[in-house]
Structure 1
């Protein structure tokens, strides 16, 4: 039995080898995963303590309205209850947006490279995709993206900080874009790495919600909050957009344990500050190392760096894999000759630097 014809052109998500597989294949005792931009410092101890004492009743359906977390976020973000939607990570919200607004004959505009699920789910709904290359530094080309909008454009995806380049959209560029973007186009502003940004670069996208009826912004508890395994994220938009998305949302799409963990994680802003400060320090040290060996990298306001490699990204990936480090080769991201590396703990990054230095020396000899 066949599915939609478009599915013949798409591939299912294929995760990388798991830690145990790699350990057995290469005879390693320790593996460091730096491929998925997870928080290497785990998650708030408050979450662990509270869940150990107050586990939800697993035989009872979760609160489909996500009431407690909704109330916590309305207070923190200064938004209204009916301006929030929750999903199993922001990826589900991307699915909801595509399901709600797209159909054959319509199109979406995205940067390239960017988070691939924007394109993936748009194609599933029958829409066409206009990919606008980022500039040479990995920043969204906002002028060209605006030029690509036509009467059949339904969604523009903006990822800031952008995955996989790490760049942010300047405030003046976003304001200009929103002021000129036609009202029939939904602008999705994905802030998954919001907590890692330097605060002076914050565009305060939430303040635009009441100024522009065609904007939704998304954030997640998977990255800085360290709850990737629980899958919970949220979107903020005017009530009309939220009502539309709620019509296609499953009635119990976020679990009781994820809701409870997110509420507690939100309370522990000391953990978020520690994550931000430590990540910034370790990233700066890694950037200095890359400068010293002459490897270029993209500006990043995230917990990862996209690095230009002297050979194929796949070769660097394989070398690091055989030595116990999992990174993301750029060939899988549409950017050959790069690797995307999550910023790990200081000790892990020092060991990684030793390996990269050895690789660099070996490659330098080849070209001498």
Structure 2
């Protein structure tokens, strides 16, 4: 597993201490919720998005908070930011969004991450990263070196014919990665 972690770190251009391996991206999402959500905390999403985000907060005594898309398919970062409260611990952004396939504008994501309160961790799920053909798309990996409140999720389950292997990973600041307690 450590050899795989080193290869993934090389693949994403980060140090191995910034990478955590999981049995699929769903296991990463669950581990992040288990690690950072406490009773009465909030997990915030912009609906519609990946269904697992809606289910997990309740397992940990937390609450789901929702912002809504203005067009029914896109992630509305302004609405998402305005929905953040003192109880918000995690914000999940699926980019590209599942199930709609829409992308978040790079500049708007930069602004959103920059103004996040320090008590909020932003999880940017790039499970479909390998399928993006948009020339101007920038991966959220650009935040990892400078931000201590961003986690980027990826998986090999959507590409390379590896769905049965369930290989997911997160990339984050070394301090966040240490909190996750995984390989």
The TM-score, its normalising length taken from structure 1, stands at 0.48
> 1:150 maps to what in 2?
85
Residues 140-191 of structure 1: CA deviation (Å, up to 9, x unaligned): 1100100111111000000001011100111001101001111110100000
Select the residue among 50, 65, 68 that pairs with 1:130: 65
2 CA distance for matches of 1:245 and 1:155?
Answer: 14
2 CA distance for matches of 1:204 and 1:196?
Answer: 12
Aligned CA RMSD, in angstroms, stands at: 1.3
**Paired positions, count:** 183
2 CA distance for matches of 1:74 and 1:231?
Answer: 17
Q: Does the 8 A contact of 1:170 with 1:201 survive in 2? A: no
Residues 230-268 of structure 1: CA deviation (Å, up to 9, x unaligned): 11110000111111111xx4x7xxxxxxxxxxxxxxxxx
SS at match of 1:188: strand
Alignment of 1:200-349 (within 5 A): 200-246=135-181, 249=182
Structure with greater strand percent = 2
The TM-score, its normalising length taken from structure 2, stands at 0.95
Matched, 1:86 2:18: no
Matched, 1:180 2:115: yes
Q: Does the 8 A contact of 1:170 with 1:203 survive in 2? A: no
> 1:319 maps to what in 2?
none
2 CA distance for matches of 1:226 and 1:135?
Answer: 35
Matched, 1:107 2:42: yes
> 1:310 maps to what in 2?
none
Matched, 1:96 2:66: no
Q: How far apart are residue 137 of structure 1 and its match?
A: 5.2
1 CA distance for matches of 2:72 and 2:132?
Answer: 17
Q: Does the 8 A contact of 1:85 with 1:235 survive in 2? A: yes
SS at match of 2:176: helix
Q: Does the 8 A contact of 2:121 with 2:150 survive in 1? A: yes
Residues 9-52 of structure 1: CA deviation (Å, up to 9, x unaligned): xxxxxxxxxxxxxxxxxxxxxxxxxxxxxxxxxxxxxxxxxxxx
Structure 2 unaligned spans of 5+: none
Structure 1 unaligned spans of 5+: 1-65, 252-368
Q: How far apart are residue 116 of structure 1 and its match?
A: 1.1
SS at match of 1:211: coil
Structure with greater helix percent = 1
Q: Which consecutive aligned stretches of 4+ in structure 1 deviate over 4 angstroms post-superposition?
A: none
Select the residue among 44, 50, 54 that pairs with 1:119: 54
Q: Does the 8 A contact of 2:48 with 2:72 survive in 1? A: no
Q: How far apart are residue 204 of structure 1 and its match?
A: 2.6
> 2:104 maps to what in 1?
169
Structure number, greater radius of gyration: 1
